[in-house]
């Protein structure tokens, strides 16, 4: 049980850890590696037990202080080499994967099978381990006007409801895979981190970096769709700004996940900002994109309460309860959308 679990990292004095981060040539992976380098010495490992961070990616990781391991998570030979050449890792942060625009084939091969490959290649029978697996708020598939969520805020137990989005489907299957694999590895700590839309910290414009296509994408605030829902072209819900989270908050969430008390089994945690990044209240945005009939299927009583009009559309209590994480950067307020 969690009450009897030991601390992976005791505050003050800790043994040196070996941490693997996959995807360190991508935006989040590189940012996390650099962030850990700035904070890890404060974790106070003894002089002879320094922490070690290994960055795994298809290309060399060129971050001073990070040891590079070149490998493809879809390649059996590379994963065999990882298994045979590396001593066991204490923490595995798995961020490598196909991006949101991926095809179904890419989602299954890279996100689903790649996750299995990483777990198989790094599992140890000699030490307790923690896996932090990058999932996504896309797992519920609610961005299509045909598939509204059943209730807001969306909970961590809510799964895939539909849509044609291959990325969301693949991430939902990744969560199922990890839960299945944990049944044969019940002593390991698995954290499925449903990551929101990560953007640069204010001031605006807020930028999301799509490393795979080498483009910086400016994220505009959500607002009501003046033309109403279009079920033929499937104009999607402005999910990204509704689920936006500042980069500094996301890095702190990862750090807290790494440092969190060990708890065997699978935990699902959502990381989004403290408010939606939107001009208009959540209820009005939902009505304008799903239409009056579909919107009636959504329980939005929470967001109708005074003071909750711009609260997150995903629950955030799990992050606070399990990791002690509460997002600090209010993008809506910092970018001048709030009248407060």
Per the CB < 8 A criterion, the answer to whether 13 and 51 are in contact is no
**pTM of structure:** 0.92
Average pLDDT over residues 16-31: 95
Strand partners, 70: 57
pLDDT at 6: 35
- Cβ count near 293 (within 10 Å): 9
Give pLDDT tens digits for 132-153: 999 999 998 877 778 889 999 9
pLDDT at 331: 97
Closest by CA to 198, choosing from 277, 97, 111, is: 277
Q: Report the 3 state secondary structure along 279-294.
A: CCCHHHHHHHHHHHHH
């Amino acid at each position: 049980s969690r009450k009897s679990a030991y601390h992976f990292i005791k505050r003050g004095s800790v043994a040196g850890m070996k941490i693997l981060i996959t995807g360190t040539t991508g935006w989040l992976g590189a940012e996390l590696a650099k962030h850990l380098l700035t904070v890890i010495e404060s974790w106070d490992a003894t002089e002879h037990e320094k922490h070690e961070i290994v960055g795994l990616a298809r290309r060399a990781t060129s971050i001073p202080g990070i040891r590079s391991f070149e490998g493809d998570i879809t390649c059996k030979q590379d994963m065999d080499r990882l298994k045979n050449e590396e001593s066991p890792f204490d923490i595995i942060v798995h961020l490598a994967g196909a991006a949101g625009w991926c095809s179904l084939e890419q989602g299954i091969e890279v996100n689903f099978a790649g996750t299995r490959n990483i777990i198989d290649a790094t599992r140890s029978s000699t030490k307790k381990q923690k896996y932090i697996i990058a999932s996504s708020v896309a797992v519920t598939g609610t961005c299509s006007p045909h598939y509204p969520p059943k209730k807001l805020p969306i909970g961590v137990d809510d799964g895939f409801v539909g849509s044609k989005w291959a990325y969301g489907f693949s991430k939902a299957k990744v969560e199922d895979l990890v839960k299945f694999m944990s049944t044969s590895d019940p002593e390991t700590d698995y954290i499925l981190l449903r990551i929101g839309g990560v953007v640069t910290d204010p001031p605006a414009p807020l930028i999301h970096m799509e490393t795979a296509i080498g483009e910086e994408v400016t994220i505009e605030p959500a607002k009501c769709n003046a033309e109403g829902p279009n079920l033929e072209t499937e104009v999607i819900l402005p999910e990204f700004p509704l689920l936006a989270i500042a980069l500094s908050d996301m890095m702190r969430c990862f750090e807290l996940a790494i440092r969190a008390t060990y708890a065997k089994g699978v935990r699902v945690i959502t990381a989004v900002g403290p408010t939606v990044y939107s001009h208009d209240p959540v209820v009005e945005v939902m009505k304008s994109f799903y239409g009056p009939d579909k919107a009636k299927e959504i329980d939005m009583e929470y967001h109708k309460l005074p003071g909750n009009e711009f609260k997150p559309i995903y629950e955030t209590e799990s992050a606070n309860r399990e990791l002690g994480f509460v997002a600090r950067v209010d993008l809506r307020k910092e970018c001048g959308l709030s009248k407060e």
